[in-house]
Amino acid sequence: MKKFFSFFRFPRASKVVRLLSGMFCTMADIFDAVLFRMLVPVSTGRRGSAIIGGYRVTGRLGGGRYGMCLQAEDSEGRRVVLKRFRRGMWKRNAVGNHYEAVILSGLSHPAVPELLGVINDRSGYYFVLSQQPGITLKSWLFDRRKSFSRAEIYRIGTQLFNVLVYLHSRSVIHGDISLSNVMDDGKHASLIDFGLARYMSARPESGRAESDAHASGTGPQSRPGGSHEPETAVIPDCGGIDLDHARLADVLLYLMYSCDALTRQPGKVRGGSWELGERTAKNAAWYDELALTADQLGCMKRLIGLARPYASTTEASEAFRTVFADWQ
Q: Which residues are documented as binding site for ATP?
A: 83
Single-letter code of the amino acid located at 142 = F
Q: What is the DSSP string of 101-155?
A: HHHHHT---TTS--EEEEEEETTEEEEEEEPPSSEEHHIIIIIS-----HHHHHH
Cα–Cα distance, 211 to 117 (Å, whole number) = 32
> Which residues are CB-contacts of 298 (< 8 A; sequence separation ≥ 6)?
307, 323
Asked whether 144 and 172 are in contact (CB, 8 A), the reply is: no
Asked whether 174 and 166 are in contact (CB, 8 A), the reply is: no
Q: Which residues are annotated as a binding site?
A: 83
Alpha carbon 189 to its chain's center: 13
Question: What end-to-end distance do the CA atoms of the chain give, in Å?
Answer: 74
- The b/e string for 239-259 (b: 16+ C-beta within 10 A; e otherwise) is bbbbbbbbbbbebbbbbbbbb
Closest residue by Cα to residue 189 from 140, 228, 243? 140
Asked whether 128 and 117 are in contact (CB, 8 A), the reply is: yes
Single-letter code of the amino acid located at 227 = S
The DSSP bridge pattern shows strands 67-73 and 135-136 to be unpaired
Cα–Cα distance, 198 to 169 (Å, whole number) = 13
Asked whether 143 and 136 are in contact (CB, 8 A), the reply is: no
